[in-house]
Amino acid sequence: MIKLVLRLIRNLLLIRFLFLILISFGIILSSCNKFEGDITVPAYLQIDTVFFVTDNSTQGENSHEIVDLWIYVDDQQMGVFELPAKFPLLYEGKHKVEIRPGIKVNGISSTRAPYPMYKPIVFENFEFYPDSVQKLNNLTFTYYNNVSFPWIENFENGNLTMEETQNSDTSLVITSPINNPEAFLSANSKYSGQINLTKDRSYYNGWSFYAYELPGLESPVLLELDFKTDTYVTVGLLVHYLGGYEAKPLVVLNHSDEWNHIYINLTPTVSQYSNAIDFKILFEANIESDSELANIYLDNIKLIYRDNN
């Protein structure tokens, strides 16, 4: 009796096993039928680094922080790939390829987006070769032609376009001597702005010397700058509207021993105050309670917008 039961169990298990094989085989067949005639071997694109160029006299320094690439084929988004990038695409033959440079909006990794001020690179007839790696070298981005630069401060000519408020007990100065190793140094940059905080002079509060009219609604408005700092620095807008002024803190710059480039999105605030008369850029910093000394370095400050109205 026991042998009979065991035999029945073995038969049932065998039937179940065969049934699963048939189901799996059917799935495989259906999958093969689904992709029959389609491309199944991808072409790979490899992009190790990218470049950015400017007209220094009108657009300022070419510093940037392009961290990823947004890839489109025939106007369809294929994905976002962090640099250096190597990624597969199921295409062969000639197709339109668009590459948009991506940034961390407000310096936050979770808020990445294509940068609306940089012109994408477009290949109208890019030829894909399946089962191969195609390296795209020397990709060079530029600003759009309709980007405006109402304010550029690079600290190179000695005439500062920033000033302290009456509440500030310390000042922004230009680094010295020339080519100070703490400064942002490049072929076009020999000086930076420096704010020195101590226990006796512990608070900086300043803004752009001039106020600026900025477009709202659909026009992106951003502030770019390079910085390194021993203490937290708040960056924001001073909104001038009928009836008064309002300070709007937007982003806090974190501690950094190395120079960082940040893109601060002013668009929502400018759009919120679409009836504002004008705006100034605000900077504010305090020395931290456990510090005796803190240095803030700023450079290549650019207030920019792209008027889409």
Q: Are strands 203-208 and 233-241 parallel, antiparallel or unpaired?
A: unpaired
66: nearest Cα among 84, 45, 79: 84
Query: For 37-50, what is each residue's pLDDT tens digit?
Result: 477 899 999 999 99
Residue 214 has pLDDT above 70, yes or no: yes
Final residue belonging to a domain, choices 89, 113, 141: 141
Write the single-letter amino acid at 287: I
- Residue 232 belongs to a domain: yes
- Residue 85 belongs to a domain: yes
Confidence at 220, pLDDT banded by 50, 70, 90:
very high
CA dist., res. 67 & res. 246, Å (int): 34
Residue 25 has pLDDT above 90, yes or no: no
Confidence at 244, pLDDT banded by 50, 70, 90:
very high
59 shares its domain with 95: yes
Which tops the pLDDT comparison, 307 or 19?
Answer: 307
- Residue 95 belongs to a domain: yes
The pTM score is 0.86
Domain range enclosing 54: 43-141
Reading the block at residue 34, the tokens are 């689904």
CA dist., res. 55 & res. 65, Å (int): 18
179 shares its domain with 137: no
| Domain count across the chain | 2
Residue 70: helix, strand or coil by DSSP? strand
90 shares its domain with 174: no
124 shares its domain with 80: yes
130 shares its domain with 152: no
**In Å, what is the CA distance from 31 to each residue of 25, 40, 90?**
10, 12, 16
- Which CATH number belongs to the domain containing residue 126 in this structure? 2.60.40
152 shares its domain with 272: yes
- Which CATH number belongs to the domain containing residue 231 in this structure? 2.60.120.200
298 shares its domain with 156: yes
251 shares its domain with 168: yes
CA atoms within 13 A on the CB side of 153: 27
124 shares its domain with 77: yes
Q: What residue ranges in 64-189 does DSSP mark as E strands? A: 68-73, 76-82, 85-89, 93-104, 112-114, 121-128, 133-135, 140-141, 147-153, 162-164, 172-174
- Residue 273 belongs to a domain: yes
Query: For 76-88, what is each residue's pLDDT tens digit?
Result: 999 999 999 999 9
- Residue 294 belongs to a domain: yes
- Residue 19 belongs to a domain: no
301 shares its domain with 180: yes
Final residue belonging to a domain, choices 94, 110, 141: 141
Run of H or E residues at 6: helix 2-35
Final residue belonging to a domain, choices 141, 161, 195: 141
Query: In the prediction, which pLDDT does 10 show?
Result: 44
Which tops the pLDDT comparison, 34 or 129?
Answer: 129
50 shares its domain with 109: yes
| Percent of the chain clearing pLDDT 90 (strictly above) | 84
173 shares its domain with 195: yes
The mean pLDDT of 168-176, rounded to a whole number, is 97
Query: For 261-286, what is each residue's pLDDT tens digit?
Result: 999 999 999 999 999 999 999 999 99
- Residue 30 belongs to a domain: no
For residue 60, how far is the Cα from the chain centroid? 18
Q: Are strands 43-47 and 133-135 parallel, antiparallel or unpaired?
A: parallel
- Residue 55 belongs to a domain: yes
CA dist., res. 61 & res. 40, Å (int): 45
